[in-house]
Structure 1
Amino acid sequence: MEHFVLLVLLLSCSIAFANESKLYIVHLEARDESLHPDVVTETHHSILGEALGKSRHETKDHIVYSYKHALNGFAAKLTVEQAEKISNYPGVVRINPSRTYKLLTTRSWDYMGVSGDKSKHPFIPSNHSLWDQGKHGKDVIVGLIDSGIWPESESFRDHGMNKAPKRWKGTCQPGQLFNTSNCNRKLIGARYYYKGYLDTIDNSTQFLTLSARDETGHGTHTASTAVGRYVKDVSINGLARGTAAGGAPKARLAVYKVCWGNENQCSGADIVAGIDDAVADGVDILSMSLGGGDEEFYDETAQAALYAIAKGVVVVAAAGNTDFTSIHNTAPWFITVGASSIDRDNTGRVSLANGKTFKGRTLTAHGTRKFCPIVSSAQVKAENSTSADSLLCKEGTLDPMKTKGKIVLCMRGGGIPRVNKGAEVLAAGGSGMILYEDPSQEMELEEDPHVVPAVHVSSSDGLSILSYIISSSCPMAYIYPGRTEYITGRPPAVAAFSSRGPSMVFPSVIKPDITAPGVKIIAAWIGGSRSYNIVSGTSMACPHVTGVVALLKSYHPDWSPAAIHSALVTTAYMSPGFVNATPFDYGAGHLNPYAAAHPGLVYDLDPKEYVERFRICGIVGYCDTFSAVSELNYPSISVPELFESYTVKRTVTNVGDHRSIYRVSVEAPPGIAVTVTPSVLEFTRKRQTKSFEVRFELERKVRTPDLHVHGFIFGSMTWKDHRHTVRSPIAVSYGVKFETPP
């Protein structure tokens, strides 16, 4: 009898699970471009009804979004059985559950040479400003797929700007704490999408602000980094003072809020809806500082982005913040951006009574003003707290009687925000905090605006300070006021958190494509017109490239997305800071804005070529057989699984001088012979194209020390004339078999 009851319960659970509906995205074959969007929506309802054997009225509640512009398809709530039925319906290319994505969370423009001030960037010709040449991005429309916007920020004021371009077809969608008056001639559009996110939180809107208003700061920060207006005298607690500006201060901004909650989660269904509307609205560029993992060639956002590119929209995306071999946005049509450092540090120092001084990072302008007693957090543990919790300075773990007037040594980690640790010290009456790295997981030192005098030091320095505290009968310390330092000539280096390649799904393209400033970036924040914050992440690097792309679109309005992509890659700067790194860390190198406007040659291609190479159906209207991904006319070359020899073909378009002669040079990967035929390209006019072949042959067994952890070795190919250098990184894997995705 007991077995029968258990069987009934198991069957009931299985039936309940099978009948439980969740959000799916249904991707259909390419639609007839002449059809009105309303007709397309009706078609979606008809297809769903016929596939499920239901009437148009019965399917009304199933469809959450109808995608009419950025891929032909719809998002619908379906059971597993219903999803299986639809997958077999004629015209259905693919059906997937909607995935969850996450956001990937001044000085930088001078550092990259956009202003043309050679004293602040020694790698560009003097007195050449891409801001001037690109007209500050005037009237280029940038679409931001993110967490919304804080429209009151001075970075988005519209003083001196004319009406939006006539090609703009978008809207300013009103909602909670946001109305149409929040848009202006700078912020010309705002929309929000939440139905997909609701599916992940039991359909409750209780804690959501249903509008385009930013509640986390992420979208506001990325937007102002890309296109913010000039705002003078911006600082964080008096440090890092300067003029804040985006890369394209005169570009227009359209915001598509798709990410919600404190965790900044974004539903794939909502993202596609945002891209869908952005294409119809008329944006020129899409900036996406979000990601959802590696297997993305066939996912809904990658396909929607491909359709956007087919419409002439450039799509820039963040590489991710999860370190090695977890790179996001790996589809080749994305301009995938890793994060690098800049030459500004906000430093702090702490001196001990024994005469030793330690240097760290801070955004706290004030110090302790005198020597104070210093203790470890474990020494001032509250009675009801554990030693492990007090070590991390968790809320409520410090005893006010023991802490008052003292500097407290706290360890980073435990999932506790760094500034919250300082807040706990303040709440317990402490006079300052020294934050040190966890020795078991050393990370980069961070600059934070703490509520008490504070400095962030390395694990080794933290342990030295702890040793002093334990060994001294009366340990004392003094925290100096923070200050801003500019390190002249310091080259950019790849951030430790920046996600690396290769893509384990498709290693045939080098990702990331490029790096850009993403460490300690100051930009607008939520909470007021003069609110600014300093944040790190590939989310911050992505809008730097977006801003430069806006300048390039203004300077070269006839360039295709692929041409812009190529120009960024082939002109990238190979920083001395990239020592011991590979193209899977930094791509082609560091963003070089002025050179990108004058690349000489570009590797251009039609979006149909993506379809041919990657078996992606339903976007251009047909499916071709799969051919080698390495043969894509991409500005870098990756050849996985080389065992004997392999040849790839490339075609370049002359966008430089009418008459020019380019000669090739190759830095071959160790043990590989690389032959380029022809080795000289002669052009007699602009827009002329020339093709060449690159042959790779295994000369000898590659020594293990030469191999990357995933079996790759690296080199480069460079075309040069009297003015231009067109460099492509090369990656070749030796004796490693990669799985081809289904």
Structure 2
Amino acid sequence: MAHHHCTVNFFVLFLTITAQFTISVSQIETYIVHMDPEALPKPFSSPQSYYSSLLMSISEVANSEASEPIYTYTNAIHGFSVRLSPSELGRIKRARGYLFSIKDSQLQLLTTHSSDFLGLNSMSGAWPASDFGRDVIIGVVDSGIWPESKSFNDEGMNDIPRRWKGGCFGGANFSTSFCNRKLIGVRFFNKGVKAATPKSSVKFMNSARDILGHGTHVSSTAAGNFVHGVSYFGYASGTARGMAPRSRLAIYKVVSGKHEGLYYSDVVAAIDSAISDGVDILSLSIASSGALYEDPLSIATFSATSKGVLVSQGAGNRGPSLNTIPSGAPWVLVAGASTIDREFTGAIILGDGVFITGSSFYTLNPIPAHLPIVYTHACGGQKQHKAIGKIVLCEVDHDQLEDSALVLAEVFEGTGVAGAVIILNQSDLPDDEIGFPAIFVRSANGNVILDYINSTQEPTATLMFQETCHGRKPAPKLAPYSSRGPSQSYPLILKPDVIAPGDSILASWQEETPVSPIITGNIISSFNVESGTSMAAPHVAGVAALLKGVHPDWSPAAIRSAMMTTADVLDNLLNPIQEWGYNQAATPLGIGAGHINPNKALDPGLIYDADRDDYVNFLCALNLTDRHMRAITRSPYSCSNPSIHLNYPSFITFFSGNGTKTVEFQRTLTNVGSQKSSYLVNLESIQGFKVRVVPERLVFRHKHQKQGYTLKIEGPCLKQGTVLHGFITWVEIGGHHVVRSPIVVASLMQDTTR
């Protein structure tokens, strides 16, 4: 995204060598500079003191922006961020210990029932086993928090864990007294955005207070405490709670407002602090991009994972096209978004007493009186002006099918029409919030209403709203906006890893500004309904906290593996999970290993584990430069055993070109189930391909024993745009464990359209 630059004209700098040259302020930009601490000069007491000395020596005037770092980093990366002119950057590049630099740039920000839908309950499974995630610390890097929200009360919480090293930093309109045994830490980071926008007229709020609502929503989704009797203007009423209601929250605010932007330098600083503070899980509803070795988030999250922190990140909201996941770091758990079995509805009561239910998310007043109802054929057609004060029944034409509910309802604004019943000839009805009293129905129900209109001289109807139905089938479905794989940063690791609830999620909200631009008037709500992979990531983070609570010795890779290999690939009708709006089965490029199942993940039987050395060996196989390797690993490394075969719970390969080819994958499974167990392989065939596994049986004689296998895929090269998939499943003999991994065989993704 574009930077906001100063508009100051050229000025002259006089250096000590009396040379005179002119520099435009617009040429000064922020850089994240990676340094090698092993190569720094010895006389300095710390890397930070060397950085300060270095910047003073290269700055063109004593008080220039280059004379002081914006941030210094010690945990996420080694280095600093700073504002530099081109000539100052050139001097930095010649300094001892310099590895490389990346220009700072902007990023994007990507419940009462979702826990029920995931099978979480107080009687059995992951909640009681983990004591609701008690004492696991979830860090949230987002837009801050609204601390007064009841979701962040500390009822039922014990003392803060002694291992917590963070703090509660107050500021503008944020007292440290807001922190408690639930909200154990808050920090805010805005030096990067301030440096990038020096002429901005915006007054930054120097505190962790959330004025957007996004961070509050995400935090309460992951670990909100129990709050009874909540709803969103009558919709989704019930008890709100996060995935891990007894987990702790540490908040790292990196977004100051709607228009100020979100910068890498601030996010890396937040991750740097989170690692130092001692978080167990990190939730990132932030989209980054770039190659693994050039993306600051990929590098920072490598450090977090190396320190035992599981990182959950949203896949992005650029679906349904393929190849739209911007970041696919193999050490990050990437979550796509799914629907749940809850539906926001409205009702049409015809004059003859017939009651018809449709989809509607209209939050204002109903139309209780019987009003005339007329059929106008096309929505927004010429007959609409004849329907003033009446309810309109109309049909959406083919060109309007991709429009949102908001757009479809807007055609009636200001027309004098009292309400609308909109017929859609598709299996899935839209559920986004609308500002006009409209209800969406399928063709069959539309025909019932039309028959009634044609059968009486004075047809009437009543429209009722604010109804919520549970048990919708089929569910879940893959949300249409959820980004699809392969990832752009590294397509040879299948992403997303899983899908999780992300559509129409109710969670806490800020009470500073009106809750919705759709609703007229200054209406505030302490809860809001939001959709996106931003909402999926904290669901995954919360479930990861439950697993960490039960298995504190599990690595991030082990937790990821448990969630992936136990994920559901069938919906509540026991059919393959479908894509919303397309009435077709989703592929692993959309759903990854499937829809998370917390209770199954508690006891996966076998796991695909990986540690820092495995990731280093993987990076070695990518033939990165020594500078990039040192920047990512942050310490001396060895490439004596490079391997492209990362021990990952999924498989993807590309068969492009001509002829046939054979691909082999090596994997290792670790027994975390019974002391003694045996597993047989079951392969779901891939049309036109020969898939083999050697060996076909794995025998484990004790817990934590490891056994390896080889997966071989042989077949023809594919036409562009072809995507095939199957599954490899290890089934326990005489037991209940089923360990499933998706396999994708595709052509190269040059065309990202469906």
Check conservation: 1:286, 1:314, Cα contact below 8 A: yes
Amino acid at match of 1:601: L
Check conservation: 2:138, 2:283, Cα contact below 8 A: yes
Q: Note the alpha carbon deviations across 1:50-82, whole angstroms, 9 max, x for none.
A: 5x3769976764421111221101111112343
Give the deviation of 1:361 after TM superposition: 1.9
Give the deviation of 1:641 after TM superposition: 4.6
Residue matched to 1:112: 118
Give the deviation of 1:129 after TM superposition: 2.1
Residue matched to 2:542: 547
Give the deviation of 1:199 after TM superposition: 3.9
Q: 2:563 aligns with which of 561, 568, 583?
A: 568
Looking at structure 1, the residues matched to 202 and 403 of structure 2 have their Cα atoms a distance apart, in angstroms, of 26
Gaps of 5+ in 2: 1-8, 13-20, 513-523, 579-584
Q: Note the alpha carbon deviations across 1:615-660, whole angstroms, 9 max, x for none.
A: 4432432466699875111111222357522222111211111111
Residue matched to 1:332: 330
Give the deviation of 1:737 after TM superposition: 8.7
Check conservation: 1:318, 1:328, Cα contact below 8 A: no
1:559 aligns with 2:520: no
Give the deviation of 1:372 after TM superposition: 3.5
Check conservation: 1:30, 1:619, Cα contact below 8 A: no
Amino acid at match of 1:364: T
Amino acid at match of 2:714: E
> SS at 2:680's partner residue?
strand
Q: 2:531 aligns with which of 518, 531, 536?
A: 536
Residue matched to 1:682: 699
Instruction: Identify which range, 150-159 or 659-668, moves more after superposition.
Output: 659-668
Q: 1:67 aligns with which of 57, 60, 73?
A: 73
Seen in structure 2, the aligned counterparts of structure 1 residues 219 and 611 have a Cα distance that, compared at 3 Å, is same
Give the deviation of 1:358 after TM superposition: 7.5
Check conservation: 2:326, 2:488, Cα contact below 8 A: no
Looking at structure 2, the residues matched to 205 and 600 of structure 1 have their Cα atoms a distance apart, in angstroms, of 57
Residue matched to 2:607: 602
The TM-score, its normalising length taken from structure 2, stands at 0.81
Mapping of residues 638-677 of structure 1, within 5 Å: 638-641=652-655, 643-677=660-694
Give the deviation of 1:419 after TM superposition: 7.4
Q: Note the alpha carbon deviations across 1:657-677, whole angstroms, 9 max, x for none.
A: 111112222224322222222
Q: How many residues align?
A: 690
Check conservation: 1:239, 1:482, Cα contact below 8 A: yes
Seen in structure 2, the aligned counterparts of structure 1 residues 76 and 661 have a Cα distance that, compared at 3 Å, is same
> SS at 1:304's partner residue?
helix
Amino acid at match of 1:131: W
Residue matched to 1:713: 724
Check conservation: 1:103, 1:264, Cα contact below 8 A: no
Seen in structure 2, the aligned counterparts of structure 1 residues 624 and 696 have a Cα distance that, compared at 3 Å, is farther
Q: Note the alpha carbon deviations across 1:659-700, whole angstroms, 9 max, x for none.
A: 1112222224322222222222211111111222222222xx
Check conservation: 2:60, 2:88, Cα contact below 8 A: no
Give the deviation of 1:427 after TM superposition: 8.8
Amino acid at match of 1:506: Y
Residue matched to 1:151: 147
Mapping of residues 699-738 of structure 1, within 5 Å: 701=716, 710-721=721-732, 722-734=735-747, 736=748
> SS at 1:137's partner residue?
coil
Instruction: Identify which range, 262-271 or 152-161, moves more after superposition.
Output: 262-271
Instruction: Identify which range, 62-71 or 291-300, moves more after superposition.
Output: 291-300
> SS at 2:613's partner residue?
helix
Seen in structure 2, the aligned counterparts of structure 1 residues 281 and 356 have a Cα distance that, compared at 3 Å, is closer
Seen in structure 2, the aligned counterparts of structure 1 residues 587 and 327 have a Cα distance that, compared at 3 Å, is same
Q: 1:322 aligns with which of 318, 322, 332?
A: 318
> SS at 2:528's partner residue?
strand
Q: Note the alpha carbon deviations across 1:717-736, whole angstroms, 9 max, x for none.
A: 111212211111112335x4
Give the deviation of 1:294 after TM superposition: 5.7
Give the deviation of 1:91 after TM superposition: 2.7
Residue matched to 1:254: 250
1:584 aligns with 2:584: no
> SS at 1:617's partner residue?
helix
Looking at structure 2, the residues matched to 563 and 133 of structure 1 have their Cα atoms a distance apart, in angstroms, of 18
Looking at structure 2, the residues matched to 629 and 462 of structure 1 have their Cα atoms a distance apart, in angstroms, of 59
Check conservation: 1:362, 1:456, Cα contact below 8 A: no
Amino acid at match of 1:729: P
Give the deviation of 1:598 after TM superposition: 0.6
Residue matched to 2:482: 498
Seen in structure 2, the aligned counterparts of structure 1 residues 617 and 159 have a Cα distance that, compared at 3 Å, is same
Seen in structure 2, the aligned counterparts of structure 1 residues 519 and 349 have a Cα distance that, compared at 3 Å, is same
Seen in structure 2, the aligned counterparts of structure 1 residues 148 and 78 have a Cα distance that, compared at 3 Å, is same
1:212 aligns with 2:218: no
Looking at structure 2, the residues matched to 80 and 627 of structure 1 have their Cα atoms a distance apart, in angstroms, of 39
Give the deviation of 1:608 after TM superposition: 2.8
Amino acid at match of 1:562: A
Residue matched to 2:238: 242
1:637 aligns with 2:648: no
Give the deviation of 1:285 after TM superposition: 0.7
Seen in structure 2, the aligned counterparts of structure 1 residues 737 and 184 have a Cα distance that, compared at 3 Å, is closer
Amino acid at match of 1:371: H
Instruction: Identify which range, 171-180 or 305-314, moves more after superposition.
Output: 171-180
Residue matched to 2:495: 511
Looking at structure 1, the residues matched to 62 and 446 of structure 2 have their Cα atoms a distance apart, in angstroms, of 67
Check conservation: 2:306, 2:612, Cα contact below 8 A: yes
Looking at structure 2, the residues matched to 380 and 406 of structure 1 have their Cα atoms a distance apart, in angstroms, of 14
Q: Note the alpha carbon deviations across 1:249-281, whole angstroms, 9 max, x for none.
A: 111101001113225832111100100111111
Instruction: Identify which range, 258-267 or 415-424, moves more after superposition.
Output: 415-424
Gaps of 5+ in 1: 1-8, 117-126, 382-386, 392-398
Looking at structure 1, the residues matched to 749 and 431 of structure 2 have their Cα atoms a distance apart, in angstroms, of 39
Check conservation: 2:348, 2:464, Cα contact below 8 A: yes
Seen in structure 2, the aligned counterparts of structure 1 residues 132 and 90 have a Cα distance that, compared at 3 Å, is same
Q: State the identity as a percent.
A: 38
Give the deviation of 1:112 after TM superposition: 0.8
> SS at 1:260's partner residue?
coil
Instruction: Identify which range, 17-26 or 564-573, moves more after superposition.
Output: 17-26
The TM-score, its normalising length taken from structure 1, stands at 0.82
